[in-house]
Amino acid sequence: MQQITQPRVNTPFPANVFRLNNGLTVIHQHLPATPVTVVDVWVRAGASVEPDNWYGMAHFLEHMIFKGSKQIGPGEFDWVVENTGGMTNAATSHDYAHFFLTTAAQNLETILPYFADILLHATIPDDEFLCERDVVIEEIRSCQDDPDWLGFQTLCETVYGESTYGRSILGTEEQVKMRSPNQMRCFHRTHYQPENMTVTLIGGIEQEEALSLLNRAFAEFEVRSECPPRTSILAPIHHKIARTELRLPHLEQARLMMAWTGPGVDKLDDAVGLDMLSVLLAYGRTSRLVKELREEKQRVWDICGEFSLQRGSSLFTISAWLETPHLQEVEGIIQERLDQLQTQPIGEAELARIKRLLMNDYMFSTETPSQLASLYGYYNTISQAELSVTYPQRIANLQAEDLQRIAKRYLTPDRYVVTVMKTL
């Protein structure tokens, strides 16, 4: 077992990072004041690694993991967790599959072997596969009835084209119906391997005991397989405004969704700057767009901005809910405010507000074992865990001129993607 040397950063990383002999990365932090222990397992097995035409496989496998292994029957793991007062769940993104378990520290020795076994040795029974396929298809159908999901998916398809981030994580109903249990077993045995996994264990377990439990539970992996090749497709470069319009029945409010691509985690300072700009523009009643368009001119019911950090190309969005006659005016005002952002400096009071809000949000999001486990695991999946604690320092370092430079580079008022949604 090897302890990984931390990179040279000014902010000390409060957890310890290890690589087990089999290649599995483990992150541990002892919190003696809490009786709770959280185990997060992050796998670089999201939608971005799906072979051609296997779309939806990563998300479908997330469901099938809980159907058990040779040693653990369907529903048995859930029964053990619930009957010891614990909680478990999972999620899939383009960059990862994420499984998490929360339990009392004294129950971890009992529950952890179950958790590890279903993850590493999922059998994916044929009959359970067919039953769960109907559940996944129903999830896809329910999303088709959600106008905000449809609008955002259309926006991503326009932004990223046929590249990884443009695909729906769920896949389509037709694609899911084409999948077989053997294909899923192949996908599992290809990607659910130690070098692709990070296990974070945070809470009331000391380091020696934690490593002993993890070494035993995550000792044996399935024999490796190899999925069919995946074609790498570059996202399109948008040199002008790319516009898509959706007409939907029974839509009470129109939607305006605008998007710009941003850097991945390899340019983290620029990414943090875009996070700050999203707060400046559309987070809180005193942000520029909320104040002008909702509070003063009353042209929108609501408006928000968001920056989503991803391993590759990240996404900056501005979304508004409004009446159809105001669509063109609101889009024009947003363009004008982006242009001003690139030509007029941000004032000291406004910059202080942004930093204060984001610093507080960060502190509030690192209070519990589950929050810490998720933060460390996510960053280690897309880059390295130690970067997760540098966020406040990066915010503090960025100044008005840095934000103006970042706005000029990424938030161009004449090159973006927009999806408009109206009622039929």
At which residue do the structure tokens 């390899």 appear? 266
Q: Is residue 253 part of a domain?
A: yes
Query: Containing domain of residue 371, as a range?
Result: 242-423
Q: At what angle do helices 207-217 and 108-120 cross, to 10 degrees?
A: 40
How many C-alpha atoms does 55 have within 13 Å on its Cβ side? Answer: 18
Q: Do residues 177 and 296 both lie within one domain? A: no
Domain boundary (160, 183, 217) is at 217
Are 283 and 159 members of one domain? no
What three-state secondary structure class fits 208?
helix
pLDDT at 269: 97
pLDDT of residue 254: 97
14's tokens: 């409060």
Q: Is 141 helix (H, G, I), strand (E, B) or coil?
A: helix
| Pair 378, 321: CB distance under 8 Å | no
The CATH number of residue 115's host domain is 3.30.830.10
Distance CA 317, CA 257 (A): 7
Query: Are residues 43 and 106 both part of a single domain?
Result: yes
Compute the distance between CA of residue 170 and CA of residue 59 in angstroms, rounded to an integer. 6
Q: Examine residue 266 and state whether it is found in any structural domain, yes or no.
A: yes
User: 280 with 325, same domain?
Assistant: yes
Whose tokens are 């483990």? That residue is 26
For residues 160 and 271, state if they share a domain. no
Domain shared by 76 and 153, yes or no = yes
pTM above 0.85, yes or no: yes
Residue 150 in domain: yes
Q: What is the mean pLDDT of residues 276-285?
A: 97
Rounded-to-integer distance, Cα 418 and Cα 41, Å = 36
SS (H, E, C) 343-408: HCCCCHHHHHHHHHHHHHHHHHCCCCHHHHHHHHHHHHHHCCHHHHHHHHHHHHHCCHHHHHHHHH
Residues 195 and 288 in one domain: no
Q: Give the pairing of strands 417-423 and 242-248.
A: parallel
When pLDDT is cut at 50, 70 and 90, the band that residue 4 belongs to is low
Q: Is residue 325 part of a domain?
A: yes
Q: What is the pLDDT of residue 232?
A: 87
Segment 73-102, tens digit of pLDDT:
999 999 999 999 999 999 999 999 999 999
List 88's β-bridge partners, or say none.
Answer: 101
Q: Residue 229 has what pLDDT?
A: 87
Q: Residue 232: inside a domain, yes or no?
A: no
> For 99-151, how does the pLDDT look when each residue is reduced to its tens digit (9 = 90+)?
999 999 999 999 999 999 999 999 999 999 999 999 999 999 999 999 999 99
User: How far is residue 116's CA from residue 168's CA, in Å, rounded to a whole number?
Assistant: 28
